[in-house]
Amino acid sequence: MKHIKSIETRHHEERDAFFEGLRRLDRRGFMKLAGLSAGIVAAKGLITPHSFQLVSVADAAPSSRPRFTFAYISDTHLYKKELNDRFVRSILRAVDDVNRLDPQPDFVLFGGDLAQLGKKEELDLGREILKSVKAPVRMMVGEHDWFLDMGEHWRTNFGEPQYSFDHKGVHFITLMSVNEKDFWTERGMTPEERMQTVAGLDNGVQSRFEVGAAGREWLKQDLARVDKKTPLIIFSHSPLYKYYRPWNFWTEDADEIQAMLEPFENVTVIHGHTHQMLSNQIGNIQFHGMLSTAWPWPYAPEGLPSLTVQMNRADPFSNFDGCGDGRFDVTAEGLVDKLYNLWDRDPVTVRSSYLASKGKKDRPAATKLPSY
């Protein structure tokens, strides 16, 4: 009987043949091929699947040409590769995509949940994979990276979980937002039991995420040295608003953080954790959720921000449907236009004007299929 190759096998064979052909092209030939393929993709309404997020920070010049770019990889949830090689292949594809960018991004920010159960071998695997990224990598922690050893191995590998930096006129803050009050000591939990509890989406035993008193004091001191006209881009793993408490799509002290950010003219918060398209506007702050490279979460049964244009239900027979990447274009005003590149689907752009107008302008096209 003739051997029948799986779709995945054929895809990888075609992909390898394609890139082998690219190696034989000179620069002029490559640019012609890239232009032709882009035209075909646009005509068919398709997108090329990536596993990273390319972020463009726009200049104030009338041309709106990017001042700089950075890529974003998030929520990879690595197990040991012997247990789940699909998640490993996903982050490897992300790294390949980032390394092919020309010009290279100024840096790559990892958005949290590198590991699934916070184990040394999971974090070490992620660290080794990210070492192959050509651009500098800046890390953000997620709860799956933290609660086995309370961040001990994370700090060994990547340093402190909370820090800020200035880059070409924008102040970036990487905020540790997944602290929890101690629920494990009185219950006599082992570190593994604590980690498994936090890893449960709807586990009511754990407390809710918070930045915490020490984190809020650190943020207060950091913001004190920043001019109120300087654009702020804040990365937090959990959303810095209260979405759905039972699933910990929530930050308990979000109201206090928002009050600290209120005096600044242009504030954007970009978060991971929820693995879905999410859009919100609270006061002067615009919020954008990030897609995961591992799996999509369903929308919560209540609390969904009204400005969210929902993605439709993921195909349960597809490894990557509902996952993906995106791009951020930070406008001259310091606000963000967010492009979601959903794998195997049409892209969706959520513009800052849509959020600022409370949905009256530039509403993104909604799917005609049911959400989930």
Asked whether residue 219 carries a pLDDT value surpassing 50, the answer given is yes
pLDDT at 341 (0 to 100)? 77
> Is the pLDDT reported for residue 325 higher than 60?
yes
Q: How confident is the model at residue 347 (pLDDT cuts 50, 70, 90)?
A: confident
User: Which pLDDT belongs to residue 182?
Assistant: 97
Euclidean distance between CA atoms 143 and 141, whole angstroms: 7
pLDDT exceeds 60 at position 148 = yes
**pLDDT by residue (tens digit) across 243-267?**
999 999 999 999 999 999 999 999 9
355 pLDDT higher than 60 = yes
Specify the pLDDT at position 5: 38
- Could you report the per-residue pLDDT of 174-183, keeping only the tens digit for each? 999 999 999 9
Average confidence score pLDDT of the chain: 83
* pLDDT exceeds 50 at position 41: no
- The full DSSP string for 166-222 is EETTEEEEEE---B----STTTT--HHHHHHHHH-TT-TTS---B-HHHHHHHHHHH
- Distance in angstroms (rounded) separating the CA atoms of residues 276 and 296: 6
For residue 130, pLDDT over 90 is answered with yes
| Residue 98 pLDDT | 81
pLDDT exceeds cutoff 80 at 30: no
**Per-residue model confidence (pLDDT) at position 93:** 82
Q: What is the pLDDT of residue 54?
A: 56
Look at residue 149 and tell me whether its pLDDT is greater than 70. Answer: yes
Confidence of residue 236 (pLDDT cuts 50, 70, 90): very high
Q: By C-alpha distance, which of 276, 277, 292 is closest to 90? A: 292
pLDDT at position 43 = 40
CATH superfamily of the 68-357 domain: Metallo-dependent phosphatases (3.60.21.10)
pLDDT of residue 242: 97
Which distant-in-sequence residues (6+ apart) come within 8 Å of 80 by Cβ?
A: 119, 121, 122, 125
